[in-house]
Structure 1
Amino acid sequence: MDDKYQLLDKILEGQHLTPVFQPIVSLVDGKTYGFEALIRVSEKELDMNIEEMFQTAFKHNKSWELETLCRVKALEHSVSMERGKKLFLNVNCNIINDISFREGFTKAFLQKYGLNSNDIVFEITERVSVSDTHAFYTAVEHYQKQNYGIAIDDVGAGYSGLNIIANARPNLIKLDMNMIRGVQKDDTKRMLIKALSDFGKNAEILVIAEGIETKEELDTLISLGVSYGQGYFLSYPDPDFKDISKEKADLIKSYQARSYIRMNKTSIYPMAGYLSRSGHTFFPDEKALRIYETLQNHPSITEFTVTEEGAAIGFMTRTALIEKFGGRYGFSLNSKKSIQQLTSKNFLSVNYDMPINQVSKLAMQRQYEQLYNPIVVEREGKYWGIVTIKDLLEACTKAEVDTAMHSNPLTGLPGNLIIDQEILYHVLGDAPYCIIYFDIDNFKSYNDAYSFQSGDMMLMLLADILKNTAVKSEFIGHIGGDDFIVICDYHEAENYCKEVIDHFTNRVASLYHKEDIERGYIVSKNRRGLTEEFPIASLSVAGISNRTKTYPNIDSFSADIAKLKKKCKRQTGSYYEIY
């Protein structure tokens, strides 16, 4: 009898196992979805590698005893788990269909621990292949009918293949940690995870990324649309049922907001990378004749890019290559050349993050013969894909329609949806900004005394001043009523605020009767219906920049700007203040 088996036997006899629980959290808001129950050996002198312990148990037919002990320990501790959260229990694929296992998870058994089947997710761990597939799928179907959750673990490794997912139709799949490791540097992993994430959404299967160990991995997974995650970066397993820290939850919200903004960068214009498709690529030393023959056999290839060490170095359309082989001497001149010798190095390439309205401008500036060629998209200096002119024009048209739909009907300025996107983009980005709120003081009293039409004229007056005073492509939005917003891509906005106030003060007098201006106030009814004197309209201006302070999330920014707006409104006459 080997030493490992003796060690296992002592562990089982003395039940020297302690459960620990690692949170599985939403990668949208950081809230805990459930906890995976893991196991640790509680006696140091019996210390044993957990994976070795399970392998030894399988080798010596002790898997049933070991897994049963692990589950019981986890369930005993589950009384302190907050209701509404899921308890993930690891189950060997060849044990779940055992009649003894089925009898062990009765309604009465769970009630002893204050649980019901909705609280339990069986996490199918395939340390070995499924020995009886029919019995396995029948068992899975049985537990799902009893409202247990079924998760397939380690998808992308070992035996956890697509056939298991297709036939078992689990409620959740967990991506193997080896797929997650270094995902931000691996295009193939990203494409695979994105495909599985999209599949999960379409098939109504929750996708969980296991083994998240760095913030870069977390950020990338969120950008790929993965809904749930767990790993040491978020939280280590703990004997207690602990949620992740507020700092980590805030980081998830921040990355989620940035991901949203990357998809809708600069208002509603998406980035080039989100319109791109992979396209066809060839290596520079490949023979032109072979590629010519490939295109002859595949009419769908209308263009291709030549790449070297991942970077785009040449581009060619199908028509251009056919022309090279045409004519009296075209074939004999070019058939033995490498494709690098024939492709054009004068092609338009843009960065993944460039908004499509900017891409469109660059595309339309090309020479006529290149005007309708696709645009090469690069990311971090490497080839990513291509964007066709058709897709580009359709996206730009949609963006322009969306802009019109979400603009204020009176002033024509962008409305709340676009404003919110701009605020998110700037607050959670790294570039300098100053976000300024403009509020007209005593606007309601003017509106009531002079009519709604006159009130509209005052709103259009301020909108006109905000636009005409802008000097650096400032974003100007109309929140609604007498509230406006200006977002500057720089910190020092004091001069802009002063100019707006000066112009408003000088021009607003034209909207009042002469006697009201001379008197310095109007007489109107207040919100309680009582007659009151109201000063001539002025501006309260509150601005926040990231010159000295940055914000981890939009909530903290909103709290600061709300306080500053209240402070500015308490001042007499026009007043501005910028943090």
Structure 2
Amino acid sequence: MSVTLRSDDTTVPMSTSARRYAPRNWPHIIETIDFAFQPIISTHTGRVFGYEALLRNWSEAGFSSIQDVFDTAWESGVLHSVDMQFRAIVIQKFARLPGVDKLKLFYNFDSRVVRTADYRPGQTLELLTASGLAPDAMCLEISERHDISHAHNFQDILLRYRAQGFKVAIDDYGSGFAQMRALYECEPDIIKIDRFFIDGMDKDRRKELFVTQITGFSHLIGAQVVAEGVETLDELMCCRRIGCDFVQGFFVARPSVDLPDRTDIIPAVTDHLNQTRRQGDHDGELLRSFMIEAQAVPDTIKPNDILDFFQRNADSTIVPVINRRDEPVGIIRDSDFKAFIYTPFGRELLQNPSNRAYMSRFLRRCPSADIRTSLSELLETFVAADTLDGLILTEDGRYLGVLDQRALLRAVNERNTLNARDENPLTRLPGNSAIYRYAANALSTPRKRRFVVYFDFDNFKPFNDRYGFRQGDRAILLFKDILGKALSQNAWFIGHIGGDDFFAYVQSIDFEDAVLAVRRAQTMFNEEIKSFYDPKTRETGFLQGKGRDGIDKRFALMTVSAALIRVPAERTDITLDHISTEAAKLKDLAKTSPDRFASSIYDAGDSYNSFPLFAETPPASE
């Protein structure tokens, strides 16, 4: 606890309020304070989008928290002056980053500054210009923890910042006052979801549903989403799966006061993302072939030039507008221009070069999505948006083209046609062609840890003979669902070879984790399949039937065998045909083992070392 001295040399506690109002040596505080940068990366590519500036050395400056710094400055009447000095420190430091022209600076904006007596707009723009940075390099984070609805003329201030080119983000979304009203009033470019909802989201369905809904709504209003506080690979992959555009957190990188050597990617995280590509990556090829490469115009264009554009391009109903970084800022509709032209003096006003401000009245927000977003997500966004304008497609935040209704439906139809050719008609899992295509790509890419698994039912034929093909199909569908649950913790590829044979592939996880996932799937199936038998058979534990030789015999209840093959690190000359040959031998071994499990390391000499029994510690030959 902080103390203050009396004249009689006794000490008494100083209250928080008194401590804040006590005289402060602000020049010393400014010299003591530093800022750390934490990267914000794309969930699609791992590329660094920008850095959030986080206050550091506040304890050394005599404060109990970061919030205490700003609360004290506010109560002392110096918030705006102090904040501007902080901004100067941050901007000068940010400007020293390598590749800074491709990055965004996220700065926490205390909404109370607009209510200070010495507030003067335009100072941040002057700081950016002095450091050689453009206004759109900065994104002001407005925390939802502050009730911004009561800030005097706050919306006008935001419009003024936007007119200067700044981006606006809602920070800590879901934690405070503003909620939907903040989205309506601020029209944010970015929404940062509070880490409470991200923490453990991969294991909490309710949190996942909340984040999914917020992400979808954000995209509808043309905003991008940052998931805060990502601390595990599973959380990162969950954010990617549900459509978050960016993430930040300790798993990506901790905040650091030291400037990074490179600012394009975080290598370790990018490797994870590249190794676990989504369906959306395949959909991206279709989207590129169907999207409309509509010409975009710069946001500096004059209204009369827009009129000339529509006159030259009579078939265009919209024109995308981009900033100097090629980021989409909205669209302009031909119908809006025509309606204005037919008003009194409309054409004259448009053609007046001094009426640059008229651009803002025609600029409309438009839903946007990365080219790697799955077609299913795009279709949901398009339907929910209920707009005829279409969607803007981007790549790493930069404008690519437009997807209108017709193009989207054609892409979805083409995707469905291709999937129908390559999927098993019963399980809807990738079939043989898709398995071979996926495996060819995966095995040709060197990885340190790669595992192929073949699953095969035991005693499936007598079960099918007794209960019929329909019940047999239900058993196959049961196992398909079990694989989806048991292998959900990592990015497994699951395929259905046919009948009761399944295929799975995973990379970049430990051998023990791969074995545990496979054994979990076996255990779940072995237990749940018992309910498919009649009570008497379940009680006796066997089924009387004819074997393949036509002789009556007893058959144990159905189980599933698994053959796991470890692909040697960094090898690129191994094909699925090689693996399949080894798997056939290994499956025979698995079916004779008590655990119905066997694993091996594929050897170039077509020999293998088998480990038919599960062991807690993987063999040293890994």
State TM-score, norm by structure 1. 0.47
Give the TM-score normalised by the residue count of structure 2.
0.44
Q: Which has the larger radius of gyration?
A: 1
